[in-house]
A and B are shown apart, each in its own frame.
Chain A
Amino acid sequence: MKKLIFLFSILILFSCKKEKKVTYHLNDVNITQNSANKDHLKSTTEFISIAYSDIFGTVITNDKLSDLSAMYMAFGDKKLIEEMVIKNFLNEPTTHIPILDRTSESTIQNFVSDSYKKLFNRTPDEYELWFVTDMIQKDTSITAELIYFSLMTANEYRYY
């Protein structure tokens, strides 16, 4: 009987504890424009003219737009022709791509953030910012042009 009372006392003693009050503080994260909101496919002329502006910082001429639109229509694999168009733009001497400043993590983050804003028309979320920044930090051979080509041939670039 004594043993039972002892056991019961022990259980009561350790079974109920007053809960501590903990308050979690979160940093604000900017998620103003999610990629999921993009459901408008760029037309052929929109895609070409926007890509041209993004790479050269100027407006494409009507003649060039007309030529490239015909070429786009004349090829069945649209992803391949899109890549070919971008590759040719990027090989021009007059490209206007920002310099990738590797001085610090924040300068790289600025480049990533600016690239997302320019090409995807939105700010990167925290994970995207970390992932791309980390990728650039770990690999010094990654250039601004390579980042631009990757983003501009990603599916999201086809939408706005």
Chain B
Amino acid sequence: MERRKFIRNLGLGTAATIGIPYLLPSGRLFASTGSRKVNHVVFCLFAGGVRNLESVHKTDGNLMPYTLKGNEGVSSDIVSGIDFVPQNTGLTLQEQGTLYKEFRMKYGPTGHYGAHATAMTGVYTGENLNINANPQYPTIFELYRKHNSPDMTAKNAWWVSNSLGPYAHLNYSSYEGYGSDYGANFIQPRSIISQDGMDNLGNSRVYTNTEEEKINSLKGFCDAHFTSQYNGAANSIINTESDKKEIESFINQCFADVGQFDDPWLIGQGLYNNDMRTVQFAEKVIQEFKPELLVVNMQNADVAHDNFTMYASNLQKADYALAHLWNTIQSTPGMAEDTILIAMPEHGRNSEGNGLYDAYGRQALDHTNDVMSREIFALVLGPNGVVVQDQVFANEKGESIDIVPTIANILGFDNDIPGGLLNGNVLTESFY
């Protein structure tokens, strides 16, 4: 009898341990999370609107030799308009992961902000999208910071953007229960890590720890007596005090590199563009903070609205930058062999030109919801044994709303996201 009772109690205890949700010190109740595939994800929104014709279909030759296998020459009519980056002598990126050649952005307007919002929230946007506001649905940063276990500070989530404008809104949403408390650190490097930035922010008064204690004491007194609704978070994410000091110190360190901004990768001054600058700063964040989640975008291919040949030229620069990013990840202790990189254009471009011709006789391209503007590719790179290597899906498979659930799955919190928030699927075929 005693033995039966013991076995029953043991069974109940075990079931309770497994089944009952845990209560964190923060008071948040959560179910136990799934296992992680790796501990870091970098998501690169690639290039600012790229057609499959110029990327994976290579109709003008291989303009992405660092990403795609093949040595097809660039079309003779535009070749003299291309600023060629150094040749790739190593493995292509596609050999180090899984390539989806026919990915789709199926619904919603094929505008940059809406397509960014779709990629970063996992929800298609509607026609009534307000580009001057935060997205309606939780971003991947908020999903990560709210549902990952243990809780992570904003220092672990970064949104590094090529441009300002609406992109500054993408570090958190207006969705109830999420928002700035779970947002990412946002930075647009060009406006800060520059000569202007150095001139305006590079000569900071440095306070000693003792002085800071006095400042915090008086500031705390003032804040305690200020009864308005403002709590410092109304329009902003909040870093912890210690993280804030680290980030401020990091920005100040970056000012020391101002002199190198013209050609930090030593590829020739004329080649370096803002996409490269943006990726270079993302690399600095990676090296400094080893974030668990970083999203970086490129935008210079969007010159296609005016100049097709420059678009093609910038496409191969973006390709070079993507490979540089991957190599930096692989050479950063703590990130190497423990990071999955996902790259995807936010949308494609129209099949027909817009009537503007460049010096090489090519028509410029807009992106206004036609079928081709919804055709994109996606690339998933990661350690061998985690990500299937050298795998290509040539037929239609996957959508841009699949990236968010895939990142959540990689970091092991996909099962903790409330049902109904995401409609996309995990790109399971990319993984062993």
Contacts and interface: CB of A to CB of B under 8 A. Distances in A.
Q: Do A and B bind each other?
A: yes
Interface in B362-394: none
Contact of A88 (B190, B200, B214, B236): B200
Nearest to B223: A155
Contacts of B352: none
Contact of A155 (B183, B207, B226): B226
A73 B206 CA distance: 23
A31 interface: no
A77 B211 contact: no
B286 interface: no
Given A77-B154, A78-B235, A155 B222 contact: yes
Contacts of A156: 222-223, 225-226, 228
A36 B229 contact: no
A36 B228 CA distance: 5
Contact of B219 (A39, A68, A150): A150
Nearest to B190: A74
Nearest to A80: B244
Interface in A23-44: 35-36, 38-39, 41
A87 interface: yes
A70 B239 contact: no
Given A70-B191, A74-B164, A135-B217, A87 B204 contact: yes
A77 B244 contact: yes
Interface residues of B, number: 54
Interface in B161-213: 164, 168, 171, 183-192, 196-197, 199-207, 210-211
Given A75-B192, A142-B214, A91 B247 contact: no
Contacts, number: 144
A71 B236 contact: no
Contacts of B159: 76
Given A41-B234, A84-B251, A132 B154 contact: no
Contact of A74 (B191, B223, B235): B191
B222 A151 contact: yes
Contact of B205 (A64, A71, A74, A87): A87
B232 A79 contact: yes
A55 to B, nearest CB: 11
Contacts of A67: 196, 199-200
21 contacts: A36-B228, A38-B226, A41-B230, A71-B191, A71-B200, A73-B164, A73-B191, A75-B186, A76-B159, A77-B236, A78-B236, A85-B200, A87-B204, A87-B205, A142-B214, A146-B211, A146-B215, A150-B222, A153-B215, A154-B226, A158-B230
Nearest 9 interchain pairs by C-beta: A76-B186, A78-B236, A154-B222, A74-B191, A150-B218, A74-B188, A91-B205, A156-B226, A87-B204
